[in-house]
Chains A and B, each alone.
Chain A
């Protein structure tokens, strides 16, 4: 990767994977078709699909299938996950730890909070351990030092505590502050 791509200029390059419109597969041995819950079709190299442990075992169970339905996965996070796995394949062929680390860091940096949050269940469902590690760390970094309210809106979760439970939480939190240093 040339250094110019890291340059903090105003234009940022975004590569979006567009879903393939047709299901026709010319080389069924090389390509695998994935179908998202919102009925988008993704045609990916077999090596990429085999990065998804869930898809891999699906194929081991029914080798004759040509389309793998992914009922829990929507198109957007799926396209991002595919993008990540494609790069990982390259690093497998040409191991370069520093470049891989850099790519992984950039991959999450440029994603919105929502993108990260949406990708985690997908990475979990497809059992892509490397991606899950990267995503979990990124999310942890983003919610560090943030208020409970912030974390709730980050994940899109409603506060479901009762008034009594909240009072208990408040007591638990009150002593998390340290007014006086021990030494």
Chain B
């Protein structure tokens, strides 16, 4: 059998050249001594020029696709600065800066972590990737107005291959569209249903859910194929979450009506951004008051109302929803859902309202700022909420 440590240098270089991120090359070199000799170190001095995607009507923006990974950092047990009060593992969103270095964000609020209270080092800290997230951002850093959710299509796409870049997006109220770099317009994947709520990559395919809880998958030729019967859940907003290999629909019960795209268009009358927002603020968005979780019984094609998430924690972010076991997060409590209060939807930029926790056992909802204990599952714990 061939030993990988002794493989020809060219082969290792070929693989390392295909790593999109410079940090990954750094890690690749740290595997063993022979690899370290074979692969040259990446440079962190050179700026990566942002690639602007010229999104056509009705979005009309020059945007940058920001790709991040939701990870669980595991701290080593013998780490000098880790005290017993610190959790041994927590959630963080990892992105790449324009110089190719790692940037750490809060997984829910998307806030960039400015100061780290312990020094991080990925030889000591193990990153376990839980999920990937995509966000379209304007050069100013705020996310693109009108886009609710994006994903790169197909799944295997790489953001560095911009000429072939294609994106799936839910925009306006819930239109499901596809746009390929260079296309003059968006392709509407479903011209009858404008109420899509969420996209998720699951078992190597993209799945979408609409407001009624019907789950469909998107085949490689971009056909939307119904996968589940409608859920007819009474809640007003659906999210897709994968947990332990199963697909779940989270049904959010809202107090107040969801804003329509018309509300936004009316507010868009002015060119002043702050004026637009203040106009929107006059019509308060809906508030989540309860949650239900359903799992599809694939054999019978029926929805199962889940009464408890057991040790799982569901996290519904702006650009990504995922789940994690509280047992992996020593500070966390299971059977709850973290979410953002939807004070301003439609890609309002970073943040998107304060982080709240829904507890399944008593159906209570708490603001994280009032219960900072709940933010201990995130890294760093002191950035609990955003405004």
Q: What's the nearest-Cβ distance from chain B to residue A103, in Å?
A: 11
Q: How far is the CB of A143 from chain B (nearest CB, A)?
A: 7
> Are A172 and B26 neighbours in the complex by a CB distance under 8 Å?
yes
Chain A residues closer than 8 Å to B128, beta-carbon distance: 147
**A181 with B103, Cβ < 8 A, contacts A145-B69, A146-B127 known:** yes
Interface centre among A137, A141, A143, A173 (most CB of B within 10 A): A173
Closest to A140 in B: B18
Inter-chain contact A124/B8, CB cutoff 8 Å: yes
Q: Which of A20-28, A46-54, A59-67, A156-164 contacts B (4 or more CB under 8 A)?
A: A156-164
CB within 8 Å of B: which A115-157 residues: 117, 120-121, 124, 132, 136-137, 139-141, 143-152, 155-157
Q: Are B158 and A141 in contact (CB under 8 A)?
A: yes
CB pair B33 A160 closer than 8 Å: yes
> 1/0 per position for B111-140, CB-CB distance to A under 8 A?
011111001111111111100000000000
- Selecting from B94-102, B182-190, B342-350, the interface stretch reads B94-102
Using CB atoms and an 8 Å cutoff, list the residues of chain B in contact with chain A.
1-2, 4-5, 7-8, 11, 14-16, 18-24, 26-28, 30-33, 35, 41, 44, 69, 71, 94, 97-99, 101-104, 112-116, 119-129, 154, 156, 158, 203-205, 217, 219-221, 223, 225, 227, 298
Pair A165/B97 contact, Cβ less than 8 Å: no
- Tell me if B11 and A8 are in contact (CB < 8 A): no
B44–A158 touching, CB < 8 Å: no
In the bound complex, do residue B1 and residue A74 qualify as a contact, i.e. CB atoms below 8 Å apart? Answer: yes
In the complex, the chain A residue whose C-beta lies closest to that of B122 is A173
A105 touches which of B14, B19, B154 (Cβ 8 Å): B154
Residue contact A156 to B4, C-beta cutoff 8 Å: yes
Chain B residue nearest to A169 (CB atoms) is: B30
- Chain A residues near B121 (CB, 8 Å)? 170, 173-174, 177
Report the 8 A-B pairs with minimum CB-CB distance, sorted nearest first: A140-B18, A178-B101, A155-B4, A121-B2, A147-B126, A145-B69, A178-B97, A148-B30
Q: Which residues of A are interface residues toward B (Cβ below 8 A)?
A: 3, 6-8, 10, 72, 74, 102, 105, 109, 117, 120-121, 124, 132, 136-137, 139-141, 143-152, 155-161, 165-166, 169-170, 172-182
For B4, what are the chain A residues with a Cβ–Cβ distance below 8 Å? 117, 121, 155-157
For A141, give its contact among B16, B127, B156 (CB under 8 Å). B156
**Nearest-CB residue, chain A, relative to B221:** A3
The distance in angstroms between the C-alpha atoms of A179 and B92, with both chains bound, is: 13
Contact between chains at B104 and A177 (CB < 8 Å)? yes
Residue of A109, A145, A147 with most partner-chain B CB within 10 A:
A145
Contact A146 B15 (CB under 8 A): no
A176 to chain B, nearest CB (A): 5
A174–B119 touching, CB < 8 Å: yes
Cα-based distance from A166 to B122 in the complex (angstroms): 12
List chain A residues, Cβ under 8 A from B115: 179-180
Give Cα A151–Cα B29 distance, bound, in whole angstroms.
Answer: 10
Residues of B within 8 A of A121 (CB): 2, 4, 7, 11
Which residue from chain A places its CB closest to the CB of B10 in the assembled complex?
Answer: A124
Q: How far is the CA of A124 from the CA of B15 in the complex (A)?
A: 12
Q: Which residue of chain A has its CB nearest to the CB of B113?
A: A179
**Interface contact A176-B219, CB-CB below 8 Å:** no
Question: Which of A141, A165, A170 is close to B124, meaning CB atoms less than 8 Å apart?
Answer: A170
